[in-house]
Structures are given as C-alpha cells and as structure tokens.
C-alpha cells in the first residue's frame, strides 16, 4: 500500500518558524480541534514546546494529546499581554471563532496569529500524475463494482461458516431502498469479532480482491489503517485523511462486533478505552509514520493491545455488544451509548440488496432506530451526498503495481 505522510509539510514549517516566532517563550493557542491541529500539537511537543492551550467550544472538556480542551470564553479571560501569545489556526471554517472575538477584544493580538490553514490536503498534487490513472468512473459504476466485492465476500463467508450482517448505511439501504442508498459510495458490514479475526487468517491471497486490514496476517508491520476493507483491484482512488493520504482501491468496510460488559458505567469505560487507544495510535503510529520517529516495535505493541481490548468480553457469552471503533466515527446513536443488545444479532434474515439477497440482523428495526431514529424519512436534499471519496478510476495502468504490493 502506498502511503504519503503530509505531516512532513507542517513539520518543515514548524521547524523553520518556531524559533523566529519565539514559540518556546509564548503560550500557544490552537483554535479548533481536528486531525490537522492534533498533528500540530504532536509536532510542537516534539520541538519541546509544551505551553499549549486547545480551544474548541464543541469539544470543550475532551482531552487531546494529554491536554484538556477549553472553551473560547474561558481562554479569552486569561489573555493578558498579546506578545505573550501565538494563535495557530489550521482551518478557519472549522475553527471555534476565537479569532472573531480576538479581533473585537484584542486588536493587537491579530499580529500574533499564525495561519496554517493554507496547508490543506486538497491543495496537494495527486500521488501519481493524472495521465497515470485510468478512466474516471461515475458513482453508479463504482457501486456496481462494489457489488462484485460483496458477492465474493458473502459467498466466501457462507462457504467458510463466517457470520456477517449488512449494517449502518447498507442496512438502511437494504431496508429502505432494497439496495444502495442512491448517494452512498460504500458498503458496510459487521462481523462478530471471532469471525472477523478468522477472516484475516483464511482470506485467499490469490483472489481478485484484497483484504486491507491490520488483521491480514503478515502485513501488520506496515498497515496503518484501523478500518478493515475488502477492495477491488479494478479501481483506484486517492484517499486523504490528514495527515495520511494513500493510493488504494474501493470496496466494502468491515467492522468487528465485540462483547460488552453489562454495567452501564463499565460500558462507558470500555468505550473510553477504544477512544484512548485510537488517540494513542494516531500520536504514536500515524503522525510519525514514514519518518525516523516511527517505531515498528511500537506498532506491533499497539496491535497486540488492540487485540486484548477487542477480545476482553467474549462475544457469544455477552448480553451486550458494540462495534470496536478504532479511529472510525460511524453515526452517533440516538441515545448516549453505542451499545446494542446481542439478541438483535443472534439470527439473520435475508433482505434484497440490488440483485442479491444478503444477511441483515433479525433485530434490524431496533438497530436502525438506534442509529437513525425514524429511518423511513429521507434526509434533507443537501445531505444526500457521498461521504467525500475522491475521484475513482478504473485501474487500466499496469505500471501502478505497487498500490497492491
């Protein structure tokens, strides 16, 4: 898999400008928390800059890189002399609007703003030259090829007695549309964690599709995505999620269903473990990946820790289950947990999905109500759009073999 770590562009700028801006002697205020600002925090700490304040009203109280996020008002109340501060903005649209307040309350502080918002992945050139790609395809053709992947996957699971279910948007599509949600650009599958891990052990190496996962035995030392996928080699797309961009294929997303404890407080602590692992993975593996700071030993230690968390509560003995969310944010539930009753998944029924019949959980109504509320109602037209995958091409250039190596 071909990865490019775009964090190096920010690192070059920080290394170049940190001394000029006297960051070691200032309080650094980072406005708005997202993947890019998280990377900035990591790189500042690598430069021994620790006097960092994180500001985001929506994420107030959360802990990012061992720093608690504060609200705009409480930060403004602490500001005294402008020359003692440097305000870093990574995205004006996603920022927490502290900039607007500063312009009103502290006009002189504007001179202390360090704008990094121009470093966006969308402005970076493609990994390959445009002529190296194949023919660009439309959404419907992309869906048709994903159906080929789904057909292979369901047949393989049935032949090898692996449990699976359509879930999330694909479950919603099967029930409401008898196939894809018209604007959806992927397929979502959930598997009990034991079946999920077994899939990685027995997936055929000579298939026309490939298992892109940390749990594909023998590839853990270079796979950094926490989301497992089965992809078609017929398609190419450049996927960008700061700071990593990768040239890859399109296929189906597969999520592990893990057992959960019975007690509500224990469930919350267990979900926090998933979240803490994800933040640690981002800091220790993803951000330094491809640089001299990356450690293969640390990578494998993190992988083993993931296994321990996922298997702590045996799936088949649990009354409650939930998806092992490692760095991937599916829809937030309509209640305050992402925990489900296992009985909803104890059996399956077959449901039409385009030209196929696929397994959906017996409790599909309860599952969909939990994730979407009244799932029979279409979202507003402005929300009827794909997830934001970049251009998709047919893989017609045989020279781009390293994508699959």
Distance CA 266, CA 387 (A): 33
Annotated domain spans of the chain: 2-123, 137-403
pLDDT in tens, 86-126: 888 877 555 556 767 776 777 766 678 887 776 665 555 55
Q: What are the Cα distances from residue 360, in Å, to 154, 167, 189, 238, 256? A: 12, 7, 10, 31, 15
Mean pLDDT is lowest, of 21-25, 79-83, 131-135, 173-177, for 131-135
| DSSP per-residue string spanning 291-350 | STT--HHHHHHHHHHHHHHHTSS-GGG-SEEEE--SS---PPPSSS---EEGGGGSSEEE
- Pick from 83-97, 261-275, 345-359 the range whose average pLDDT is largest: 345-359
Tens-digit pLDDT profile for residues 322-338:
988 655 445 556 666 78
Which of the residue ranges 103-112, 165-174, 217-226 has the most confident prediction, judged by mean pLDDT? 165-174
pLDDT of residue 389: 56
Tens digit of each residue's pLDDT (9 = 90 or more) over 20-41: 667 777 888 888 887 788 888 8
356 is written with which tokens?
A: 């196929």
pLDDT band per the 50, 70, 90 thresholds, residue 404:
very low
| Mean pLDDT over the full length of the chain | 81
Query: In CATH, what number does 2-123 get?
Result: 3.40.50.20
The Cα–Cα gap between 298 and 282 comes to: 12
Q: pTM of the prediction?
A: 0.78
**Cis status, amide bond into 176, omega within 30 of 0:** no
Q: Mean pLDDT across the stretch 269-276? A: 86
Shortest CA distance to 17 belongs to which of 42, 36, 43, 39? Answer: 43
């Amino acid at each position: 898999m071909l990865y490019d770590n775009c964090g190096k562009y920010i690192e070059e700028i920080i290394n170049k400008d940190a001394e000029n801006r006297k960051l070691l002697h200032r309080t650094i205020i980072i406005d708005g928390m997202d993947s890019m600002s998280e990377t900035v925090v990591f790189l500042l700490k690598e430069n021994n800059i620790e006097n960092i304040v994180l500001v985001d009203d929506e994420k107030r109280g959360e802990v990012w890189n061992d720093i608690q996020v504060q609200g705009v008002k409480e930060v403004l109340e602490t500001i005294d002399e402008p020359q003692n501060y440097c305000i870093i903005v990574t995205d004006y649209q996603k920022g927490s609007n502290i900039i607007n307040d500063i312009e009103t309350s502290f006009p002189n502080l504007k001179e202390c703003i360090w704008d990094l918002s121009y470093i966006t992945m969308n402005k970076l050139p493609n990994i390959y030259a445009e002529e190296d790609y194949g023919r660009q395809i439309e959404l419907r053709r992309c869906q048709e090829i994903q159906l080929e992947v789904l057909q292979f996957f369901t047949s393989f699971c049935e032949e090898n007695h692996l449990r699976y279910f359509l879930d999330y948007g694909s479950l919603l599509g099967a029930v409401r549309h008898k196939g894809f949600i018209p604007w959806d650009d992927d397929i979502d599958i959930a598997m009990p964690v034991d079946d999920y891990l077994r899939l990685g052990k027995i997936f055929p190496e000579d298939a026309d599709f490939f298992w892109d996962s940390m749990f594909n035995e023998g590839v853990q030392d270079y796979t950094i995505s926490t989301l497992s996928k089965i992809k078609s080699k017929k398609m190419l797309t450049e996927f960008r999620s700061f700071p990593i961009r990768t040239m890859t294929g399109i296929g189906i997303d597969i999520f592990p269903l893990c057992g959960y404890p019975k007690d509500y407080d224990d469930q919350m602590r267990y979900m926090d473990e998933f979240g803490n692992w994800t933040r640690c993975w981002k800091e220790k593996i993803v951000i330094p990946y491809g640089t001299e700071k990356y450690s293969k030993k640390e990578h494998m230690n993190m992988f083993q820790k993931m296994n321990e968390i996922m298997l702590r509560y045996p799936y088949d003995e649990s009354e409650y289950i939930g998806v092992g969310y490692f760095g991937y944010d599916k829809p937030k539930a309509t209640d305050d947990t992402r925990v489900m009753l296992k009985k909803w998944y104890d059996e399956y029924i077959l449901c039409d999905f385009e030209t196929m019949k696929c397994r959906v959980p017996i409790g599909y109504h309860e599952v969909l109500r939990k994730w979407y509320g009244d799932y029979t109602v279409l979202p507003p037209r402005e929300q009827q759009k794909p997830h934001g995958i970049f251009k998709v091409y047919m893989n017609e250039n045989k020279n781009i073999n390293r994508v699959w190596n």
